[in-house]
């Protein structure tokens, strides 16, 4: 059974729905940087490096998941929406 492709409007709605999460995440990282730097006393460079590593690992996992699932012919609609 063929799965229909997601329309551009569906992709846009899912992308705009992720905006709230991204804003929350950026604010959390901002205050986390201040907390680790001023309260705990960790160097700001090391704190920023840790936050960048977390961001890059999440990005890498997302890209690799997309690459692995892309050639698969048995992708259901939930998997497509999870990749967006």
pLDDT tens-digit profile of 16-72?
Answer: 777 788 788 888 888 888 888 899 998 888 888 888 887 787 777 777 766 666 665
Q: What is the pLDDT of residue 39?
A: 92
Q: Tokens at residue 35, please?
A: 């907390």
26 CB-side CA count, 13 A: 6
Give a yes or no: residue 16 inside a domain: no
Domain count, the chain: 1
The rounded distance, in Å, linking the Cα atoms of 36 and 32 is 6
Range of the domain at 52: 43-84
Give a yes or no: residue 84 inside a domain: yes
Give a yes or no: residue 6 inside a domain: no
Give a yes or no: residue 34 inside a domain: no
Give a yes or no: residue 63 inside a domain: yes
Give a yes or no: residue 17 inside a domain: no
Q: What is the pLDDT of residue 78?
A: 61
Do residues 51 and 40 lie in contact, with contact meaning Cβ atoms separated by under 8 Å? no
Give a yes or no: residue 65 inside a domain: yes
């Amino acid at each position: 059974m063929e799965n229909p492709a997601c329309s551009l409007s569906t992709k846009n709605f899912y992308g705009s729905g992720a905006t709230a999460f991204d804003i929350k995440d950026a604010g959390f990282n901002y205050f986390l940087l201040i907390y680790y730097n001023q309260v705990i006393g960790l160097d700001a460079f090391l704190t920023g490096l840790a936050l960048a590593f977390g961001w890059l690992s999440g990005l890498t996992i997302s890209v690799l998941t997309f690459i692995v699932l892309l050639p698969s012919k048995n992708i259901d609609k939930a998997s497509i929406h999870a990749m967006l």
